[in-house]
Structure 1
Amino acid sequence: MLKHFKHRFALLILLLMIGTILAACNKDDDKELSDPNESTSTDVSETDDGEEDASVDSGPKDGGTIVGAMYSAPAGMFNPIFYEEAYEANILDFTHEGLVTQNEKLEFISSLAEKWEVNDDQTEITFFLKEGVKWHDGEDFTADDVVYTYQAMSDPEYENAGGVRVNYVAPLLGYEAYQSGETDVFEGVVADGDYKVTFKFAEPNVSPLYYASFPIIPEHIFSSISVKDIPEAAESKDPGKVIGTGPFKFTDMIEREQYILERNEDYWQGAPHLDSIVWKVVAQSVMIGLLEKGEIDFVASPGGIAPADHDIVADFGNIEIIEQADFGYQLMGFKLNHRTTADVESGALNPDNWVPNKKLSDPKVRQAIAHAVNRQGLVGSGHGEGLLHGRGQPINSPIAQQMWAYDESSATAYEYDPDKAGQILDDLGYVDVTGDGFREDPEGKEWILNFDYPTGNELRERSAPILQSDLENVGIKVNLRQPAEMSVYVPGLTDDNTDWDLYLIGWSLSSTDPDPAGLWATKAGYNFSRWNSPTSEELMQKAVKAPDAFDQDYRSKVYAEWQKHFSEELPALLLYAQNSLWAYNDRIQGIKILPHSMYQDAHEWWVEDAE
């Protein structure tokens, strides 16, 4: 599941996040619900009545190691401005930080910034940074690091090198001129001394804290490296060379097996209690056995524990479960356009060069496919039914259900109706000419949809053949290809100069703002469908354009229009939003559960059995 980092959407993953972090990444995104209008609910197993934990009374203890489990290995990019998927975000969540973070109400609160001021016309926001913050290598954190991070994401070579976070910099003053190479003067973020930095926007900005919330990377490490070379630099990939300001340092790994984070003794909020956090790559099929035995201590994003395992894990006497609405969803995407090989090789995202995928170019074809898929069957209704055992629901809008902009009523609900799906295809001329049970296209040619999906998420893996069966039930021939590990899947998904038609991915969404541009803008790196809709672009820009966009009701109405348009155009079929099912051993104390994460303030975590 892709998760963007703290905004897992993700990727990544790539999450694929992004999956990933997305974190996806992800932080992606790798971002499920009972009632989207309710505040986050928490379901935590309890200790026996009358038991008192004496160790809590004695206060936190220093020392000890905890082990987390994730189902897929990170692809290997540990630089916030270039990571793509949620498994990478699992490392970055502990090593890197932004100027601000969020609390349990999703309000922005200080992190590396002490305070901030916004000018009267909302075109500038000035941050006063915390002093005394050190990078992992002992160098001082300063305003120059903030400037460099955003300048690097605005660099002309950034997108060509695989960077996908342009939504954080596109509104900045002078972005287009700097990004195009017309000028070498970066106006968007300006330092005034070591601990004061101002973000300048081309127009009044309705959510400046969102744009200023991205994790910061060290200027003294990367300024001597060309932006195009940063993704392959050891400083972006190798333990011991990945430098952040966070509570833990990324110090060692056995690639594809385990990843080791060690305490940052000089952490600005105080040295963490734990000695280390170890991430292990664990097959989902054996995860709960290891959890019960204490060989792993926590399972969270992306994926958490499988819905089918909830009741089993709930019976473990030493495990606490958190079930709450996830910021994300799983989807089956439609490759509407393919990039040219030349653009892939150069890293360009140029819609003018995209080659339409005629097999899926008609929205009515995509709508027929939506009616052919039994999404409620995937979710189930509990009692052992469906892949989710009822712990989630089908959704029709790609905005997080916890967000004020979410409007299910504006979107088209594609009910499971094979007969309707067949009728739509018949009317479009997709009929079985050869008598083999599968439809040919309107020109009488063979019509086969290639279907790709990644390994790592057991529910997603199990979804693929079910979806194939649903489509073949209405006469659509599907070539379900062998699943690939995320490290292989994501490049194929990103390059898309091949014959992909259908793909599966999971997104963890941003908890900071409902703006969907990071995933669905035409030139967004995560727009893997290569959806190119002028109407979508117009609405997304309208929803953030001042002065009207300062009115949240106005933004809600515009996003309602956008959600309607998305569900009609259908660049992807949203399959379901799965409840987050996080679990951790009760030997761990100090965990703070937020709506979008359980990794907040990890420096406060401690274990009762520390020696």
Structure 2
Amino acid sequence: MLNKKLWYLLIVLSLFAFLLAACNEEGGSDPGDEEEPAETEDPAEEEEPAEEEEPAEETSDEPVEGGELIGAMDTAPAGVFNPIFYSEAYEANILDFTHESLVGQNDNLEFIPELAHDWELNEDQTELTLYLEEGVTWHDGEEFTAEDVVFTYESIASPGYVEAGGIRTAFVTPLEGYAEFNAGETDTFAGVTAEDEYTVTFHFAEPNVNPLYYASYSIIPQHVFEGVAIGDMPTHAATLEPGEVIGTGPFAFTDMVEREQYVLTRHDDYWQGKPYLERITWQINDQSVISSLLENGEIDFVADPSGVPAADYEMVSGYDNVEIIEQTDFGYQLMGFKMNYRTTEDVESGTINPNNWVENPNVADQQVRQAIAYAIDRPGLVEGLLYGRGSVINAPIAQQFWAYTEDVPQYEHNQDTANQMLDDAGYVDADGDGWRDMPNGDEWVLDLAFPTGNQIRERSAPVIEENLEEVGINVNLMQPKEMTAYTEDIMTSDDEQEIDLYLIGWSLGSGDPDPSGLWSIEAAYNMSRWNNPESDELISQALQAPEAFDQEYRTEVYGEWQNLFATDLPAVLLYAQNKIYAFNERLNGVDPLPYAFANNPHLWWVSDAQ
């Protein structure tokens, strides 16, 4: 086994070599280092008159119409461009430009008007009435109305939505009549009603502490999907195909070369005013070459979800034509423990039923999970792979939220503690092969899965493998898969698959610190299949009125929940990587939110537009 310091040195050297190779692949050498050789003059030839120089392109200090941008992603979207069915951040990069919500958020995470220009709450916060903008059109010219809002929420609440792959039920479960409608006991969903064409009311079953959060989900067009069975929506053309995907946003999804580029074209009749840019194209590039493409001007920006690699920060910040924005990530990277598996039957039927789950004996012992946390050198990951541009975190709530706390178990890197805890739990080398065995003497091998695309995460996997092997844990580093196939494996893994540990990153919702979408027992994104009733009880308490109207009360409850999470440990939180956004100086109007780069893209403009 390699010495740890040597390992990190090798990583840095290999990264440097990788970047040099990438530059050579793109054209032989760094284009900034060479000029075209001058042609040799023939003295016998008559000198031709010099050609007139092309006039320099004019640039503007004021917004001008026209031009286009190219953005880079290191991983292709899975291909589901429907807000109620998409599942990953690469698809969100398209939807952020094409679809909109009734309300948005500002820099302080306060809710602000979007498709709804005003709203009012009744006294006990069981009814939220929103007044919609008039004259808003979908990309196909149809008018946006309250019926589209009702249809969107009815679809998410519908029987068969989860079975079809839907994972957004958190937005409808608090609404009146959800259980009855979802069970098929009634044909009418009472939770969201249209008062007239431009007024919609959300009805909550109980007083709600953050009603605007539930009204903040992106809206889909009724006229496009009406009559389509919920089970058929994920494969409908309006979910998958450019030109068929319809939103109200400033840009329409008009063309793609799958897994290569995705084209967004200006929506001329956009309700907030015609966007300045004509077109934005997302281009899929290997992460190793993105920085050089920025320097060359072949791409204009790199943003969510990966941004500029931390290793490239100093280099990119030195580019004369590039501006950089660095901010704390609104999320985290983790190594999850696959604590339970769904049965094959439940996977095939799309059912998430904790009563049927099969426990994974390899990581069932809480003390073992804690020992593994002590064994992983998380500060080393931050320093060695992130170059210090990130932080170790221990609680699964975004650091920007008032609810986040570090008053939880810390699991500072300590191999002696890890070894002692494993010994105490009975995980010792019983057969003398150098690896720990299970207490009953069976071989103990942990299968660690990870995806391709994010190079920092890819490089984290062998470091974690080495850390665990240093305390005698035999780790099988599985063959990495492309993100789409990988997430499907983790989400649908059953008791016949061999996955014990998995790497994933979460970009968290900005509307509320409520962690139920990722960590409640029946949440689809609860990839660990963590089955802890005390966790669900605390999550429920933090939303229970009237006590939860007091933010101090919610802070206290979420503190208890974070402590429970860090103790029971369904996952080791590895780090929060700083988001490093970079864009060409020709792009103007960039004003990132704490959780996203794309903010008011209809106001983006380029200074060299023709």
Displaced runs of 4 or more, over 3 A: 53-57
What is the aligned partner in structure 2 of residue 397 from structure 1?
Answer: 395
Query: Do residues 89 (structure 1) and 86 (structure 2) align?
Result: no
What is the aligned partner in structure 1 of residue 64 from structure 2?
Answer: 61
What do the CA deviations read for 1:190-249 (whole angstroms, capped 9, x no partner)? 001110000000000000000100000001111211001111111101100000000000
Computing the radius of gyration from Cα coordinates, the structure with the larger value is: 2
CA contact (8 A) 2:170 2:517 kept: yes
CA distance in 1: counterparts of 2:492 and 2:596, whole angstroms:
30
CA distance in 2: counterparts of 1:276 and 1:466, whole angstroms:
41
CA distance in 1: counterparts of 2:91 and 2:519, whole angstroms:
22
In the TM superposition, residue 81 of structure 1 has moved relative to its aligned partner by 0.4
CA distance in 1: counterparts of 2:493 and 2:204, whole angstroms:
33
CA distance in 1: counterparts of 2:86 and 2:273, whole angstroms:
27
What is the aligned partner in structure 1 of residue 462 from structure 2?
Answer: 465
Partner SS state of residue 192, structure 1:
strand
- Equivalent residue in structure 1 for 2:111, among 98, 105, 108: 108
CA contact (8 A) 2:72 2:301 kept: yes
- Gaps of at least 5 residues in structure 1 are 1-52, 381-385
- Amino acid paired to 2:541: K
Question: What is the correspondence of 1:134-149 to structure 2 with a 5 Å cutoff?
Answer: 134-149=137-152
Partner SS state of residue 335, structure 2:
strand
Partner SS state of residue 133, structure 1:
coil
CA contact (8 A) 2:291 2:312 kept: yes
- Equivalent residue in structure 2 for 1:418, among 410, 415, 434: 415
Partner SS state of residue 363, structure 2:
coil
In the TM superposition, residue 56 of structure 1 has moved relative to its aligned partner by 5.0
What is the aligned partner in structure 1 of residue 471 from structure 2?
Answer: 474
What do the CA deviations read for 1:127-165 (whole angstroms, capped 9, x no partner)? 000000000111100001100111111011000011111
CA distance in 1: counterparts of 2:589 and 2:578, whole angstroms:
23
In the TM superposition, residue 524 of structure 1 has moved relative to its aligned partner by 0.7
In the TM superposition, residue 593 of structure 1 has moved relative to its aligned partner by 2.1
- Equivalent residue in structure 2 for 1:358, among 356, 361, 373: 361
Moved more, 72-81 or 490-499: 490-499
CA contact (8 A) 2:59 2:608 kept: no
CA contact (8 A) 2:393 2:576 kept: yes
What is the aligned partner in structure 2 of residue 523 from structure 1?
Answer: 522
CA distance in 1: counterparts of 2:82 and 2:539, whole angstroms:
28
Partner SS state of residue 324, structure 2:
strand
- Equivalent residue in structure 2 for 1:377, among 349, 356, 380: 380
CA distance in 2: counterparts of 1:468 and 1:167, whole angstroms:
35
- Amino acid paired to 1:495: T
In the TM superposition, residue 104 of structure 1 has moved relative to its aligned partner by 1.4
What is the aligned partner in structure 1 of residue 597 from structure 2?
Answer: 598
In the TM superposition, residue 60 of structure 1 has moved relative to its aligned partner by 1.0
CA contact (8 A) 2:60 2:608 kept: no
- Amino acid paired to 2:395: S
What do the CA deviations read for 1:272-331 (whole angstroms, capped 9, x no partner)? 111100000111111111000000000010010011100000110011100111101000
Query: Do residues 306 (structure 1) and 309 (structure 2) align?
Result: yes
Partner SS state of residue 490, structure 1:
helix
In the TM superposition, residue 114 of structure 1 has moved relative to its aligned partner by 1.1
Question: What is the correspondence of 1:24-423 to structure 2 with a 5 Å cutoff?
Answer: 55=59, 57=61, 59-380=62-383, 386-409=384-407, 411-423=408-420
- Amino acid paired to 2:547: D
What is the aligned partner in structure 2 of residue 572 from structure 1?
Answer: 571
What is the aligned partner in structure 1 of residue 501 from structure 2?
Answer: 502
What do the CA deviations read for 1:417-448 (whole angstroms, capped 9, x no partner)? 11111111111111111211111101100111
What do the CA deviations read for 1:497-521 (whole angstroms, capped 9, x no partner)? 1221100000011111100011101
In the TM superposition, residue 598 of structure 1 has moved relative to its aligned partner by 2.0
What is the aligned partner in structure 2 of residue 538 from structure 1?
Answer: 537
CA distance in 1: counterparts of 2:245 and 2:552, whole angstroms:
43
Partner SS state of residue 196, structure 2:
coil
Identity of aligned residues (%): 59
Question: What is the correspondence of 1:541-556 to structure 2 with a 5 Å cutoff?
Answer: 541-556=540-555
CA distance in 1: counterparts of 2:477 and 2:201, whole angstroms:
51
- Amino acid paired to 1:529: S
- Amino acid paired to 1:465: P
Partner SS state of residue 277, structure 1:
strand
CA distance in 2: counterparts of 1:366 and 1:149, whole angstroms:
41
What is the aligned partner in structure 1 of residue 38 from structure 2?
Answer: none
In the TM superposition, residue 55 of structure 1 has moved relative to its aligned partner by 4.8
Partner SS state of residue 438, structure 1:
coil
CA distance in 2: counterparts of 1:320 and 1:205, whole angstroms:
42
CA distance in 1: counterparts of 2:269 and 2:543, whole angstroms:
40
What is the aligned partner in structure 2 of residue 489 from structure 1?
Answer: 486
- Equivalent residue in structure 2 for 1:449, among 446, 450, 454: 446
- Amino acid paired to 2:133: K
In the TM superposition, residue 592 of structure 1 has moved relative to its aligned partner by 1.4
In the TM superposition, residue 54 of structure 1 has moved relative to its aligned partner by 9.4
Q: CA RMSD in A?
A: 1.0
What is the aligned partner in structure 1 of residue 433 from structure 2?
Answer: 436
- Amino acid paired to 1:348: T
- Amino acid paired to 2:399: Q
- Amino acid paired to 2:113: S
CA distance in 2: counterparts of 1:523 and 1:182, whole angstroms:
21
What do the CA deviations read for 1:552-593 (whole angstroms, capped 9, x no partner)? 000000000000000001000000001110000010011112
CA distance in 2: counterparts of 1:183 and 1:422, whole angstroms:
57
CA distance in 2: counterparts of 1:60 and 1:427, whole angstroms:
67
What is the aligned partner in structure 2 of residue 9 from structure 1?
Answer: none
What is the aligned partner in structure 1 of residue 12 from structure 2?
Answer: none
Partner SS state of residue 519, structure 1:
helix
CA distance in 1: counterparts of 2:185 and 2:554, whole angstroms:
33
CA distance in 2: counterparts of 1:486 and 1:119, whole angstroms:
44
- Gaps of at least 5 residues in structure 2 are 1-56
CA distance in 1: counterparts of 2:58 and 2:412, whole angstroms:
54
CA distance in 1: counterparts of 2:567 and 2:505, whole angstroms:
21
- Amino acid paired to 1:606: W
CA distance in 2: counterparts of 1:597 and 1:136, whole angstroms:
23
CA contact (8 A) 2:58 2:608 kept: no
- Amino acid paired to 2:426: G
TM normalised by structure 2 equals 0.90
What do the CA deviations read for 1:446-499 (whole angstroms, capped 9, x no partner)? 111111110010000000000001011111111101110012111101101122
CA distance in 1: counterparts of 2:360 and 2:109, whole angstroms:
40
